[in-house]
Each structure stands twice: as structure tokens, then as C-alpha cells.
Amino acid sequence: MQTTTTATSKQAGQIKNLSALIYGLKSELSKVIVGQQKAIDALIVAVLCNGHVLLEGVPGVAKTTMVKALTDALGLDFKRIQFTPDLLPSDLIGSLIYDQKSQDFLTKKGPLFSNLILADEINRAPAKVQSALLEAMEEKQVTIGTNTYPLPRPFLVFATQNPVEQEGTYRLPEAQVDRFLFKVNIDYPSAQDEKEILRLSSGNTEKIIPVMQAEELLEAQQGIQNVYVDDKVVDYITTIVQATRYPKNHNLDELDQLIECGASPRATLGLYKASQAQAMVQGRHFVTPDDVKAIVHATLRHRITTTYQAEVSGMTAHDCITKIISKVPSP
């Protein structure tokens, strides 16, 4: 009993320390990012889960600025890759170069060998490039020639895409989309936030100071496993995901003709882990149903395929998730 109490006290202390770091992290980000609090919170949760993020928003809403600021505040290495139709896999992972002096092939590593990758306009790259990125995202390693090289730890991919412009783009494979922990929608700023943006742009932007190092981040990622999840919350998570697959079984008959394909088991795992990280961000060592609700849209919206009927009626995957949350009883 005493051992359990000591372990719980230690976890509470770790959570308290991490909460202080997260508060400092948000303070640093506020130097260059105005508003977008939901998006910032989602990115922080994703980083704690060691999860990849798909950012969607029109040009000019600070997607790149947000990711770069987060990387600086975390003290991580950062690489931005502009995806274009003529991009090759070797432009990402690297290649073998023949050295005349040594008369041997040397390995030149590509930009993927960094902690955080910003894949800008990822849907403009052809299938071969997307497959190379898929291996890196899933296996945390890349293959150059006949050799396999591990990627730095942590390794995160934050990809952006424009929801409006479709010309010259390639649809992302479902397998790749499913490997993004979150899909975060970046909206236009409010009128008040836009005024603040104008005010900040007319002065000198404050420099972001790192509040965390890679080693501390890795430790925090390990600490998520110690966040307690009650069996009732586990049932709540699985019921939500099951409802995306079999709406009729959960008194959601109206969604049966709107959802073509529900969320995968990987989504269940992602929702579970993200709920633990959300609880940690809130300064708790246990998960509540509100933690699940806070991140359920970002976790599931890109994993649910809607039907043509849903498109005609104006129902999005986001709307379907909202309907499910309203019907599934909260513990």
C-alpha cells in the first residue's frame, strides 16, 4: 500500500513539473502566435504522444509559423520541405554519392534526419515520395541503398495541406492519412486577434526561448504511460470508435447512410493515448471523459469516410463525430 502511495505521489510530482513546462511553452508560443489556442493545445498533445499531425487551412493562417515556433520552444532540430510534383524520394531520405577520391559510395542523408519535419503542401507530392515518407512516419527509419538508418528521437512529421486548391495535387493514401494522430483545422483569426496580429507585426517580434530539451521531451512522452485510465473511460473510448463503424448498434440510425467507413483500431489506440496526454496537459494523473471529448474530433475526423449522401446533405465527418458524442453516454 505504501509503495502504491509513493508511486502515485511521484507521478503527481512529475505531472506538476510537466504542467509548469507546458505553461512556459504556451507563454513562449504566445510571443509570435495570436489566438489559435485549440490548435496550439492539439499540437502540444500530439508532441507528447510522439504523434504526427496533418494541418489543414488556407494559406496565410500561420501554419508554418506555428510549427516553427513550437520547434524553437522545444529546442528541437527543424527542417521544412516544400512538397512539389517533381520531388523525388531521394530529396527526402538522401542518396548514395560516388566519391572519386575514395572510389566508394558515400551516404548523403536527406532532410528527414531531423527531429521535426514540416512537410509543406504534402498533397502536391507524387505517390513514390509519399511512400518514402510513410516508411519514415511508421518505422522511424529510412532505407538508402541497401542500408537502413534510424531517424533521430523524437521524430515528428507535421504536414500541411490547402483544403481549397485541388489542381496539381495528389490524394493522400488512406494508409498514410491513418498514420497521422491528429488532423487539425486552422481557422481564420477573429477580428480581435487580427487587430493584435497587426499590432505585433508593426514592432519587433520577441525571440522564442527554449523551455524544454529533447531529453526532457522524451521523458515526458514516457511519462504519459503512467496516466491512469479507468475501465469506464476505456469503455467510453471504445464505444465512440465502435459507433463510427456500426451506428445502428448505438441508436444512431441517421448516421448509417452517412458514414461509409468508420475509424480503425489505430484510431482507438490514438484516442486512448491522446486522452492520457490531454490529462497530463491539464495537470492531472488520471483521464476524465472531458479529456476524451477535447481531442476526439482531431483524432477521428480524418479517419472517417463519409458517403455521397452525407456530402449532398452537408454533413461532414466532424458533424458525425459531434452527433456520436451527443448520443454515447458519458461515464
Residues 181 and 276 sit within 8 Å (Cβ to Cβ)? no
The backbone torsions φ and ψ at residue 107, rounded to the nearest 5 degrees and listed phi first, read -90, 120
Q: Give all domains of the chain, ordered by start, each with its CATH number.
A: 32-197 (3.40.50.300), 222-327 (1.10.8.80)
Short-list 78, 163, 86, 69, CA closest to 119: 78
Cell numbers at 290, concatenated: 472531458
Short-list 303, 183, 315, CA closest to 252: 315
Beta bridge partners of 95: 108
Quick one: CA torsion of 246, 251, 255, 257, rounded to 10 degrees? 70
Cell numbers at 184, concatenated: 487539425
| Distance, CA of 54 to CA of 46 (rounded, Å) | 11
What pLDDT score does 298 carry? 94
| Distance, CA of 244 to CA of 41 (rounded, Å) | 25
What pLDDT score does 239 carry? 95
Omega into 265 within 30° of 0, i.e. cis? no
What pLDDT score does 290 carry? 94
What pLDDT score does 3 carry? 39
Q: Please report, in tens digits, the pLDDT of each residue of the chain (331 residues total).
A: 443 444 466 666 677 777 777 888 888 888 788 788 888 889 999 999 999 999 988 887 878 888 888 888 888 888 899 888 888 888 888 888 877 777 788 888 888 898 999 988 888 888 888 888 888 888 888 888 788 889 988 899 999 888 776 666 777 777 778 889 999 988 888 888 888 888 777 766 677 888 888 888 888 888 888 888 999 999 999 999 999 999 988 888 888 888 888 899 999 999 999 999 999 888 888 899 999 999 999 999 999 988 899 888 888 999 999 999 999 988 8
* pTM of this structure: 0.86
Long-range contacts of 286-289 (CB under 8 A, 24+ apart): 286/227, 286/228, 286/229, 286/230, 287/227, 287/228, 287/229, 287/230, 287/233, 288/233, 289/233, 289/236, 289/330, 289/331
